[in-house]
Amino acid sequence: MPHLVRPTNQQTFIDPYNAKLFDLGVDDSRVYLSRQINHIYKVFGENIIVQGMFISYTINGSVITFTISSGRCIIDSTLCIFNDPVILDLDLAPYSVNGKLVVNISYRYIQTLFNNKPFAKVSWVSADGVNVLPEDWSPQRDQLVICWYDFEKDGSNAITYIQAHCNRTDGILIDGKIYYPSRGNDIDAGLMDRILHDLNCYINLKGGTYYDAEDTYCTFNAGTYLGN
């Protein structure tokens, strides 16, 4: 497995890729303002894990393998759902023990109709935070750190020690900025699914009928959900 993975079984909510647009300037004009709707996610937090996405690891000589469990996170006011575990590998033979390992989710909201999905990645960061390998660090995309790690090796480059730093107070300096692992309180999946359904509904300005992204009928009455 590589050090950078875009999971195949994932979803993002709500972005222009799954938005619908209708003709403007007519009586029943309907415009889906996905970016404005996305800001409601800030109720739960920004650049934060809201469910699952716990990390475990195994060591085989100089190679460390991280497994991120399925879960949900909010990045750049966008909800990202990983439905399956994600596996990352990094061979630490070329890297100094003076550096740190960082596991993060990389994503930036882009107003495009092309599919824009998050990546999971593991990086080696030098002690001064200046050098990041094998991939460059992007301040715009790499906002969500799950955990970072100290490590040690023996003379044959085999990994002999790993220390995890996954608390919200465990800061790490990268490219002149301090990042903190961002894990909130787990949100009940049923509640989040309900919110997703409601947020995916857009209004028919001519009447009181609402449709979701799949044209499934739903309606609201005094704030109470009455649809399917």
Q: Which two tokens stand for residue 127?
A: 């002690």
Q: Do residue 204 and residue 131 come from a single domain?
A: no
- The pLDDT, as a whole number, for residue 111 is 72
pLDDT under 50: residue ranges of the chain: 202-217, 219-228
Under the phi-then-psi rule, with left for phi > 0, alpha for psi from -120 to 50, and beta for the rest, what region is 184?
beta
**CATH value at residue 110:** 2.60.520
d(CA 53, CA 85): 8
Q: Do residue 203 and residue 149 come from a single domain?
A: no
Q: Do residue 216 and residue 170 come from a single domain?
A: no
In angstroms and rounded to an integer, the radius of gyration of the C-alpha atoms of the chain is 21
Q: Do residue 168 and residue 219 come from a single domain?
A: no
Q: Do residue 129 and residue 206 come from a single domain?
A: no
Q: Do residue 36 and residue 123 come from a single domain?
A: yes
Count how many domains the chain has. Answer: 2
Q: Do residue 110 and residue 133 come from a single domain?
A: yes
Q: Which domain holds residue 217?
A: 189-225
- The pLDDT, as a whole number, for residue 203 is 38
Q: Is residue 216 within 8 Å of 169, Cβ to Cβ?
A: no
| pLDDT 10s digits, 23-79 | 555 655 555 556 777 777 877 888 999 989 999 999 999 999 999 999 999 999 888
CA 90 from chain centre, in angstroms, equals 20
CA-wise closest residue to 86 among 104, 110, 59:
104
Q: Is residue 128 within 8 Å of 173, Cβ to Cβ?
A: yes
What's phi and psi for 43, nearest 5 deg?
-60, -35
132 assigned to some structural domain? yes
Q: Do residue 97 and residue 144 come from a single domain?
A: yes
Q: Where are the alpha helices (DSSP H) in 31-143?
A: 34-38
